[in-house]
Amino acid sequence: MIEQPFPDTESWVEFYTQADLPILRHTQNELEKLHENAESISGRVISSAVLKDPLMTLKVLAYLEKHRPKTQRTDITTIGRAIMMIGIDPFFANFKDQPSVEDQLQAYPKAKLGLLKTINRARKAAHWAREWAMMRHDLDIDEITVATLLHDIPEILMWCFAPSMPSRVHEMQLRDRQLRTVTAQQEVYGIPLHELTLGLVSAWHLPKLLATLITAMPPDDEKLTVDKVSTDNPRVRNVSLAVDLARHSANGWDDPALPDDFKAIEELLHINHETLMRKLGLEDENKPKTSPDPAQPQ
Per DSSP, the chain holds a count of helices (H) and strands (E) of 17, 0
Report the chain's terminal Cα–Cα distance, integer Å.
38
Of 62, 78, 101, the residue at which a domain comes to its end is 101
Q: What is the pLDDT of residues 214-255, one digit of tens each?
A: 776 554 444 433 344 445 689 999 999 999 999 999 989 999
Residue 260 placed within a domain: yes
Q: Which band of pLDDT confidence, cut at 50, 70 and 90, is reported for residue 148?
A: very high
Which 3 state secondary structure label does DSSP give 87?
coil
- Decide: pTM greater than 0.85: yes
The Cα 205–Cα 200 span in angstroms is 8
* Cβ atoms within 10 Å, residue 273: 12
**Residue 264's CATH number:** 1.10.3210.10
**Looking at the structure, do residues 116 and 60 belong to the same domain, yes or no?**
no
For the chain, the residue count is 298
Q: Is 21 a residue whose pLDDT tops 90?
A: yes
Q: Is 296 a residue whose pLDDT tops 60?
A: no
**Looking at the structure, do residues 214 and 80 belong to the same domain, yes or no?**
no
**Looking at the structure, do residues 46 and 92 belong to the same domain, yes or no?**
yes
**Looking at the structure, do residues 137 and 274 belong to the same domain, yes or no?**
yes
**Looking at the structure, do residues 146 and 94 belong to the same domain, yes or no?**
no
Q: What is the pLDDT of residues 104-125, one digit of tens each?
A: 999 999 999 999 999 999 999 9
Q: Is 180 a residue whose pLDDT tops 80?
A: yes
- Spatial contact of 224 and 257, defined as CB atoms under 8 Å apart: no
Residue 47 placed within a domain: yes
Query: What total number of domains does the chain contain?
Result: 2
Q: Is 94 a residue whose pLDDT tops 90?
A: yes
**Looking at the structure, do residues 96 and 106 belong to the same domain, yes or no?**
no
Between 186 and 223, the more confident residue is 186
Residue 206 placed within a domain: yes
**Looking at the structure, do residues 51 and 194 belong to the same domain, yes or no?**
no
The Cα 172–Cα 179 span in angstroms is 8
Q: Is 292 a residue whose pLDDT tops 70?
A: no
Containing 230, the helix (H) or strand (E) segment is none
Domain that holds residue 274: 102-280
Residue 297 placed within a domain: no
Of 68, 101, 134, the residue at which a domain comes to its end is 101
**Looking at the structure, do residues 165 and 85 belong to the same domain, yes or no?**
no
Of 56, 71, 101, the residue at which a domain comes to its end is 101
Q: Average pLDDT over the chain, rounded to whole?
A: 88
**Looking at the structure, do residues 52 and 159 belong to the same domain, yes or no?**
no
Between 219 and 95, the more confident residue is 95
pLDDT of amino acid 56 = 97
